[in-house]
Amino acid sequence: MRVGLDIGGTKTAAVVVGRDGSVLHRLTLSTGYGAEAVIRTAVLAVVELARLAGADTRAFESIGIGIPGIVDVATGRVSHAVNLGLRDVDLAGELAGRLGTAVHVENDVNAAAMGAFHQMGQSGLHSLAYLNLGTGLAAGLVLEGRLWRGSRGTAGEIGHICLDQDGPLCACGQRGCLELVASGSGVARQWPTDDPRPVEALFRAVVAGEDGALEVWSRLARSVAAAVRVLVLTIDVERIVIGGGMTSLGEPLLAAVRGVLDAGAADSAFLSSLSLSERVAMVSGESGVTAAMGAALCGWPLQVTQPG
Ligand SMILES: [Zn+2]
């Protein structure tokens, strides 16, 4: 049995995964803020999973953690996890010391990509991009069953591809980044709301016919479609799975993105030949569980490469 945790800004999803990759037990806890609180939450989640599994925490073969921020996968150190209040923490060392089990730490989007690949792995899939539409926008890449992080861990950071040289300033210092329109924060910036799920508030406004809402919605759909094109034209993955907080809206978002891709294919024989619309899917179930499952798999990726 292996354990996977997805430590998010508000919730921590945790799963026990069996040898065949199936989820045996799962739970969700509120995540604390700051290093000690985050570590305490992770320990509590593993202890609780052990209780559900009727075992000691040391009976788990490994613990995988998916967490937002910059992760040094070799050492398990996490830095710049702003939403969690972590500046620089030896997360793997702290948890391994308290739980007596090896701990592997991975960036949350990469972990989710691994989980999505496994969820679709029965279809003989070789390559997949997980397009995370959360507060920001980034992609995780799985090629032949293994994560592709790039030479410096930057692979998939497509949220900072510049779409408009004269666009608004991004936190990264560039202008007009994709993330400024195709993300939860991007939607909230263009369609201010108190709703914690800005894309749902935007969609309600579109349905109600409110002034300007359709323009923001169309820009969102076009920008997510642009992210899909970038991923296919760069690495030609077989599947692009859209996940993250924005997918709580579900089908309307997927339909809007497919609509843009279909319209592009109708106007361009080249785009039509790429079958972009058919390659796009949405994560099944909760994103947090997918990411937690992926985190559990990250420690032993070779075992999930065989297509069934
Ligand atoms: Zn940027």
CA distance 120 to 307: 10
Together in a domain, 78 and 25: yes
Spacing, Cα 208 to ligand 1 middle (Å): 32
Could you tell me if residue 73 is inside a domain? yes
CATH of the domain at 53: 3.30.420.40
Could you tell me if residue 133 is inside a domain? yes
**What pLDDT does residue 298 have?**
84
Together in a domain, 156 and 88: no
Spacing, Cα 102 to ligand 1 middle (Å): 35
Together in a domain, 104 and 181: no
Could you tell me if residue 117 is inside a domain? no
Q: In degrees to the nearest 10, what's the CA dihedral of 21, 46, 74, 237?
A: 30
Could you tell me if residue 197 is inside a domain? yes
CA distance 266 to 173: 36
Interval 181-209 mean pLDDT = 95
Together in a domain, 265 and 137: yes
- Interaxial angle between packed helices 213-235 and 198-207, expressed in degrees from 0 to 180 and rounded to the nearest 10: 120
Average pLDDT, the chain: 92
Q: Nearest CA to 190 among 171, 157, 225, 214?
A: 214
Together in a domain, 188 and 207: yes
DSSP 8-state symbol, 304: G
Could you tell me if residue 120 is inside a domain? no
Together in a domain, 83 and 144: no
Together in a domain, 95 and 217: no
Spacing, Cα 185 to ligand 1 middle (Å): 12
Spacing, Cα 8 to ligand 1 middle (Å): 22
Phi, psi (deg, nearest 5) at residue 66: -105, 130
pLDDT reading at 188 higher than 80: yes
Q: What domain range is 9 assigned to? A: 2-112+288-304
Could you tell me if residue 224 is inside a domain? yes
Spacing, Cα 167 to ligand 1 middle (Å): 11
Together in a domain, 230 and 100: no
Spacing, Cα 251 to ligand 1 middle (Å): 28
What letter represents residue 160's amino acid?
A: H
Together in a domain, 176 and 272: yes
Could you tell me if residue 84 is inside a domain? yes
Spacing, Cα 186 to ligand 1 middle (Å): 11
Spacing, Cα 173 to ligand 1 middle (Å): 6
Say if CB 141 and CB 105 are below 8 A apart.
no
Spacing, Cα 1 to ligand 1 middle (Å): 40
Spacing, Cα 24 to ligand 1 middle (Å): 39
Spacing, Cα 244 to ligand 1 middle (Å): 19
Together in a domain, 153 and 216: yes
pLDDT of 278-290, one tens digit each? 999 999 878 889 9
Together in a domain, 47 and 145: no
Interval 172-180 mean pLDDT = 95
Could you tell me if residue 121 is inside a domain? no
Together in a domain, 273 and 293: no
**What pLDDT does residue 277 have?**
98
pLDDT of 291-308, one tens digit each? 999 999 986 543 433 333
* Strand-pair partners of 147: 142
Spacing, Cα 190 to ligand 1 middle (Å): 16
* Strand-pair partners of 62: 2
Q: Total domain count for the chain?
A: 2
